[in-house]
Structure formats: C-alpha cells, structure tokens
C-alpha cells in the first residue's frame, strides 16, 4: 500500500469515529439512545466511555457465562437472566464455561487484578460477539450489570414480552464510585410500609448503584420491628401511625428476609432505633421507660422533640441492650444507627452520658455507631459516623473529634421537602428542593472544613409524615434520588446540570417501564 493510501485510510478511520461519536450524542438526545454507548443515557455518569461501532444483540442462544464455579457469580448470572427474561421472553442459560458460545455470550469475570477498579468498580466491554463484565468483586459485577441494563432499551424493564431487537451498543466503560456510602433512608415509623414496598424501593435503588438502605424503625408515632424480649413495643407501639391508621411492623422473619433481599442487590441495611428522643411509641408501650413510671398515650400527630427515655433509670439501658442486641443479631452489616436527633426535652448533661453509653452498648454487640449530627455533643467512638442533616457546627465538631460524616443536608438531600411551592406533597421547613438544586452541590465542599477525606458518602432521607403510599413515596423520591446517586458515584468535575438533565430526561420511558411514579419536573426535558 502506498503512503497516500495509508494516510487516506487513517483520515477515513478518524472521520468515521467522529461520525459515530456525533451520532451517539445526537441519537441519544432523540430517538435511538439504545443503539449507542453514550454517556447521555447513563446515571450515574460512568468514569470513562469509549464508544465503538456496532452492537451486541441478545438472542435466544445467548449464554450468560461465568468463568468459575463461584456461587456469587452464578447468583449474579441468574439475577441478570431474571432481569432480561420478562421483556425478552428468553430464558437465558447461565453456565460455567470459558468457551465463547456461538450465539455470543455475556461473560462475568472476577479478576482481582485491577487496582483501579477498587472494591466496587467494573469494566464493561461490548463487541458484536460478546459482552464482558470484569470486576474485582461481585459488587463490581453487579454495578456492571446495572450499566448493561441502562444500555438496553427502556422496554427491557417491562414485565411482559416486548418486541426487540435487544441491542447493546459496542464500546468500553471503565467505572468506579467516588464514595463508598451511597444511601437512601426510609422512615417507616410515621407511616408504615410493608415488606413488598421496601423490596420495590430496593430494586429501584439498585438501578442507580446505591448500596445502603437506612430504615428509620422507631419514632414517636410507631415502633416497627419485633423485639421478642419486649413484645409490647410492636403490640402497642406498632399499632398506629400518623393520622391514626393502623400502622404495622416487621416480624423478625420479615426483617431478615428484607436484609437478605437487599444483600442480593448489594445493599446493606442500616437499622435505626432513635433515642433518647423520638421515643413516644416505646414510652407508650412500657411505663417503666418513663421517669414518672406512667405509660404515655400513643401519638399520631407530627410534632417533634417532646419525648425522651428516662436516662437516669437502669432499666432503660437493659432495654437498649436487649433491643440493640436482637436487631444486631439479625443485621449482618457493620452499622447500627442510634438516632440522637432533636432530643429537646433531654437535658444536655443527661444526653451526653446517655449517647456515650448507647455507643458502648452498640460496640458490645459488634456494631459501629451512626447518629444524627447532634451526637457530636457526646464523645464519638473512633469509628462512629455522624450524619449531617441540620447544623454545620455539629458536623464540624464531629470531624474535630475524629468522626467521619455522611452528608444528608436537609436543604439538598431531604426527599420529603416539596419540589416547589406548587407541589403539594411533603413539607418545606428546609426550603423547596427542586430537581436542579438537589443535584447541584458537592458533599466535599458543602461545609467548610469538611473535605472529601472526612466524607463517607451521601444519603437521601425520606421522612413520611405526609407520605402514605408507594405512589406518593416514589413521587418524592424520583427523580431526585437519581441525582443524589450520581453525586455519590461520579467525580464532581465531570458533573454538570445541563448534561445531567438531558440524561435524566431520557429516563422517563425507563421509569414508566419500571412502574415508577415520578415527578415530571418542568426543569427536565422529559423524553416522550
């Protein structure tokens, strides 16, 4: 081949790459995002995306292949097969094999040899013949599977057979999260949500690579977890909720089942028993937890800050030991959340020793403490994590005492805040939190003096004073939780609202296919 021809080939090669890249971006904004491995379709935004020409097509003969007879890898293979089956109508085979199958394969590989991928990163490469997900850990494979899911057409999420073709655009994605803690909190106390609702939320969290589900299991209005040594907590304390309806609770079997379901989606459950305030449901169940020895009436209103355990009574610490012990024994994750917020009727000189003693009890049951930012008034243990929600001075004090911080600033991260003055669900004591405002902040620069090193991650709490059913719950959670997931996962320098809102807009058909009720914010160019 002569020199001119070589140059000509090179120019043509480069030009076709440019054309493909342009097509990717244009297509994603318009009709066929599913045929291009474009960052415009993915949330959270991955680390690097290198699109290539062509696509892999799912076919009847496509095999989900794992390299080793590894139980977790096989479970991931079956999880993927389960995701793909309803809409494609194909029962994909899951096999341990190193051979490339004629129908093409989706291969899951544990490598252990790529330090850049860390504990949760993955590499996803797609050619016409193979989809290959590699990671150091099963969690990394799971996140690669979520990205693969987002690269398929939204109809893949439907529960009935849809028409293909099921194309996955070619290219390579290398990706790893910024923060290790990417959470959602559900208040099941103000209104109770049965296990199936929680499972639906877990599945929705998984799509966005969230990995922590904090369950706010007790408050003034309801006690929601069976404690065998203190049965009246649920018999009495679990019998109602805000507004006076019947409430409910999780049996220990149901809780364990939720923990296992979450674990199968690489989500760790963090149980919270709020104390010493936010305890009216317990105080109504057992008279001896009150200083005056009189049981309180059940409470179905929405005030805060009026209840406290009697911190001077020894029986209260027996109660804590039993409750924390039973819950810890059912919770494989390393954390136990002790609340500690808004204990307005507990004098500070009682609050501090109480929190310190509660921390000791948690440690004795083998768990690490998490508490709301007020617990920084006490002495955090070396591994205690403080959850910033309201007061920057509390969070800074915590860091000064050596604690690390979960970022849940109410005016950015609270999913119970109204979107704007025209949306009716929720509250606005921390302000209105639009989809843009929820996205535009950086956990590492929000509080001066608290940087990336001190931040464990981000959590989005949904308090449920005004939220009574799944439809309303999802309306508050989506789409803001998707933005928070990206804040927890993607480098801030690469995040941009104008780019994000286009990607988010492309999620409308996927939300619809998943049966997620979401707020159609006018700030977002929703795709039809």
The answer to whether the CB of 423 falls within 8 A of the CB of 519 is yes
Nearer to ligand ACM, 342 or 420 (CB): 342
Catalytic: 512? no
Nearest distance, CB of residue 279 and ligand ACM, angstroms: 13
CB atoms within 10 A of CB 306: 15
> Least CB distance from residue 328 to ligand ACM, whole Å?
22
**DSSP codes joined into one string, 405-432:** EEE--HHHH-TTB-SSTT--SSB-TT--
- State the catalytic residue, choosing from 342, 350, 360, 512: 342
Nearer to ligand ACM, 266 or 372 (CB): 372
Q: Which is nearer to ligand ACM, 387 or 437 (CB)?
A: 387
Is 392 among the residues that bind ligand ACM (CB under 6 A)?
no
Nearest CB to ligand ACM, comparing residues 372 and 519: 372
Query: Which residues are CB-neighbours of 156 under 8 A, at least 6 positions away?
Result: 83, 84, 87, 88, 149, 162, 166, 513
Q: How far is the CB of 408 from ligand ACM (least distance, A)?
A: 8
480 Cβ contact list (under 8 Å, min separation 6): 415, 433, 435, 438, 439, 460
CA–CA gap between residue 344 and residue 33 (Å, rounded)? 52
Judged by CB under 6 A, does residue 459 bind ligand ACM? Answer: no
* Between 91 and 393, CB nearer to ligand ACM: 393
Nearer to ligand ACM, 389 or 518 (CB): 389
Residues 346 and 379: beta-carbon distance below 8 Å: no
Residue numbers 460-499 binding ligand ACM by CB under 6 A: none
Contacts of 298 (CB under 8 A, 6+ apart): 236, 237, 239, 240, 280, 281, 284
Euclidean distance between CA atoms 469 and 191, whole angstroms: 8
Residue least distant from ligand ACM (Cβ): 341
Q: What is the spatial distance between Cα 301 and Cα 241, in angstroms, rounded to a whole number?
A: 8
Task: Find the shortest distance in angstroms from Cβ 115 to ligand ACM.
Answer: 37
Q: What number of other Cβ atoms are within 10 A of residue 255's Cβ?
A: 24
With beta carbons less than 8 A apart as the criterion, state whether 202 and 209 touch: no
114 interacts with ligand ACM by CB under 6 A:
no
Query: Which residues on adjacent β-strands are paired with residue 225?
Result: 250
Q: How many residues touch ligand ACM (CB under 6 A)?
A: 4
389 binds ligand ACM (CB under 6 A): yes
Q: State in angstroms the smallest separation of the CB of 443 from ligand ACM.
A: 17
How many CB atoms within 10 Å of residue 103?
15
| Closest separation in Å from C-beta 234 to ligand ACM | 23
**Is residue 299 close enough to count as binding ligand ACM by CB under 6 A?**
no
Residues 6+ apart with CB under 8 A from 381: 359, 363, 368, 369
Smallest distance from ligand ACM to CB 472, Å:
19
Out of 120, 187, 341, 474, name the contact with ligand ACM by CB under 6 A. Answer: 341
Concatenated DSSP letters of 44-55: SPPSEEEEEEEE
User: Which is closer to ligand ACM, CB of 368 or CB of 408?
Assistant: 408
Among the listed residues 142, 372, 419, 478, the single contact to ligand ACM using CB under 6 A = 372
Taking the complex as a whole, the smallest distance from the CB of residue 371 to ligand ACM amounts, in Å, to 10
Whichever of 389 and 500 has its CB closer to ligand ACM, that residue is: 389
Report the phi/psi class of residue 215: left, alpha or beta, with left for phi > 0 and alpha for psi in -120 to 50.
beta
Query: Nearest 10 degrees: CA dihedral of 56, 503, 509, 150?
Result: 30
Residue of 257, 342, 360, 512 that binds ligand ACM (CB under 6 A): 342
Closest to ligand ACM by CB, 321 vs 341, is 341
- DSSP three-state, residue 434: coil
- How do strand 385-388 and strand 404-407 relate by DSSP bridges? parallel
Query: What's the closest the beta carbon of residue 327 comes to ligand ACM, in angstroms?
Result: 19
DSSP for residue 252? H
Cβ atoms of residues 408 and 182 within 8 Å: no
**CA angle in degrees (0–180, nearest 5) for 140-142-147:** 95
Residues that bind ligand ACM (CB under 6 A): 341-342, 372, 389
Residues noted as catalytic: 342
């Amino acid at each position: 081949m002569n020199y001119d021809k070589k140059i000509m080939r090179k120019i043509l090669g480069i030009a076709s790459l440019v054309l493909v890249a342009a097509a990717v971006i244009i297509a994603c904004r318009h009709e066929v995002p599913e045929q291009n491995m474009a960052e415009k379709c993915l949330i959270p935004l991955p680390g690097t995306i290198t699109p290539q020409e062509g696509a892999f097509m799912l076919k009847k003969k496509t095999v989900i292949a794992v390299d080793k007879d590894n139980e977790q890898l096989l479970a991931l293979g079956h999880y993927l097969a389960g995701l793909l089956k309803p809409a494609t109508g194909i029962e994909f085979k899951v096999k341990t094999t190193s051979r490339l199958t004629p129908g093409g394969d989706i291969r899951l590989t544990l490598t252990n040899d790529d330090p850049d991928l860390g504990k949760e990163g993955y590499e996803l490469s797609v050619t016409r013949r193979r989809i290959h997900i590699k990671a150091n850990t099963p969690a990394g494979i799971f996140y690669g599977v979520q990205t693969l899911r987002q690269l398929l057409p939204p109809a893949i999420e439907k529960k009935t057979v849809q028409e293909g073709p099921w194309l996955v655009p070619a290219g390579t994605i290398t990706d790893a999260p910024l923060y290790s803690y990417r959470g959602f909190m559900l208040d099941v106390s103000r209104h109770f949500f049965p296990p199936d609702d929680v499972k639906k939320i877990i599945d929705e969290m998984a799509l966005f690579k969230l990995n922590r589900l904090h369950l706010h299991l007790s408050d003034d209005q309801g006690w929601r977890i069976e404690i065998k040594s203190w049965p009246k907590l649920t018999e009495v304390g679990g019998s109602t909720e805000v507004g006076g309806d019947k409430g409910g609770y999780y049996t220990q079997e149901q809780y364990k089942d939720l923990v296992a379901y979450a674990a199968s989606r690489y989500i760790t459950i963090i149980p919270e028993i709020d104390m010493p305030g936010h305890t009216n449901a317990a105080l109504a169940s057992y008279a001896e937890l009150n200083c005056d020895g009189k049981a309180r009436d059940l409470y179905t209103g929405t005030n805060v800050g009026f209840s406290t355990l009697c911190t001077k009574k020894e029986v209260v610490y027996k109660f804590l030991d039993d409750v924390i012990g039973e819950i810890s024994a059912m919770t494989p994750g390393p954390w136990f959340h002790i609340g500690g917020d808004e204990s307005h009727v507990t004098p500070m000189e009682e609050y501090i020793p109480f929190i310190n003693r509660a921390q000791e009890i948690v440690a004795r049951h083998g768990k690490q403490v998490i508490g709301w930012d007020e617990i920084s008034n006490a002495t955090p243990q070396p591994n205690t994590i403080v959850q910033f929600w309201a007061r920057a001075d509390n969070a800074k004090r915590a860091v000064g005492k050596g604690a690390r911080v979960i970022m849940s600033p109410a005016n950015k991260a609270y999913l119970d805040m109204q979107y704007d003055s025209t949306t009716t669900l929720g509250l606005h004591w921390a302000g209105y939190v639009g989809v843009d405002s929820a996205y535009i902040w950086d956990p590492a620069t929000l509080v001066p003096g608290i940087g990336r090193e001190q931040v464990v991650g981000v959590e989005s709490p949904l308090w449920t004073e005004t939220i009574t059913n799944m439809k309303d719950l999802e309306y508050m959670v989506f789409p803001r939780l998707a933005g928070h997931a990206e804040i927890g996962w993607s480098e801030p320098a690469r995040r941009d609202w104008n780019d994000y809102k286009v990607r988010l807009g492309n999620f409308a058909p996927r939300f619809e296919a998943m049966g997620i009720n979401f707020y159609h914010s006018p700030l977002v160019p929703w795709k039809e």
